[in-house]
């Protein structure tokens, strides 16, 4: 928590306020504040990231991806921005590019389970459901109480035509895990 507070203290007021507005769902207000800021300070990577997130949540994922690629060019080690880029690429159905960016994240943060979860989702969307199912099984061994994982696993099983095997996972969801 202390590291987070220290980082916030280094950010421009417009960035912190726009981020807060974004988190509160006030997209128009956040955009009205952050757009002129990034025009004035185009090298502020956190300002650009917040601008991209506002764009993505406003339905402009392709534009968000372009801005996030600019952020990655300025700071290739900014993992949170790369994660946002993966999400924007997935929203625009650019699965191959998303998987390339995800591979970079997985090399940098090999123990992050969210990266493997995202990979499994991409694998399903690319038709590699057998590989995705194996990855979901591995994740479920590590996180057996994760209801979302059970749901995604069930969807992958159904996609593979394994409806009977999918049933128990869905029933677990109905009981709250």
- Taking 3-state DSSP, the helix, strand and coil percentages for the chain, each rounded to the nearest 5, stand at 80, 0, 20
Q: Is the whole-model pTM more than 0.75? A: yes
Q: Calculate the alpha carbon distances from 86 to 73, 89, 163 in Å.
A: 15, 5, 30
Residue 12 region, left (φ>0) first, then alpha (ψ -120 to 50), else beta?
beta
Among positive and negative, which fits the CA dihedral 153, 176, 91, 11? negative
pLDDT at residue 8, as a whole number: 60
Radius of gyration in angstroms for the set of CA atoms belonging to the chain, rounded to a whole number: 19
SS3 label, residue 166: helix
pLDDT value at residue 117: 92
Task: Provide the pLDDT for residue 177.
Answer: 47
Q: What is the pLDDT of residue 111?
A: 83
* pLDDT tens sequence across 72-121: 999 999 999 999 999 999 999 999 999 999 999 999 998 888 999 999 99
Stretches where the chain sits below pLDDT 50 are 4, 173-177
Which pLDDT does position 161 carry in this prediction?
76
pLDDT of residue 174: 46
172: tokens are 């677990």
65/71 Cα distance (integer angstroms): 10
114: Cα separation from own chain's centroid: 8
Phi and psi at 43, nearest 5°, equal -100, 5
Residues 6+ apart with CB under 8 A from 139: 113, 116, 117, 120, 146, 149
Residue 130 corresponds to which tokens in the numbers above? Answer: 């057998």
56 vs 64: CA distance, rounded Å: 5
């Amino acid at each position: 928590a202390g590291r987070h507070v220290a980082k916030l203290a280094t950010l421009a007021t417009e960035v912190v306020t726009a981020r807060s507005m974004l988190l509160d769902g006030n997209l128009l207000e956040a955009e009205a504040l952050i757009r002129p800021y990034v025009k004035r300070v185009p090298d502020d990577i956190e300002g650009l990231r917040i601008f991209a997130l506002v764009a993505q949540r406003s339905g402009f994922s392709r534009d968000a991806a372009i801005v996030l690629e600019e952020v990655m060019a300025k700071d290739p080690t900014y993992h949170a921005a790369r994660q946002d880029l993966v999400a924007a690429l997935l929203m625009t159905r650019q699965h191959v590019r998303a998987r390339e960016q995800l591979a970079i994240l997985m090399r940098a943060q090999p123990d992050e389970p969210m990266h493997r979860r995202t990979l499994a989702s991409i694998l399903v969307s690319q038709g590699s459901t057998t590989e995705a199912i194996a990855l979901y099984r591995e994740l479920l061994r590590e996180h057996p109480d994760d209801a979302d994982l059970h749901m995604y696993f069930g969807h992958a099983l159904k996609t593979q035509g394994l409806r009977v095997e999918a049933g128990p996972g869905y029933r677990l969801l109905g009981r709250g895990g």
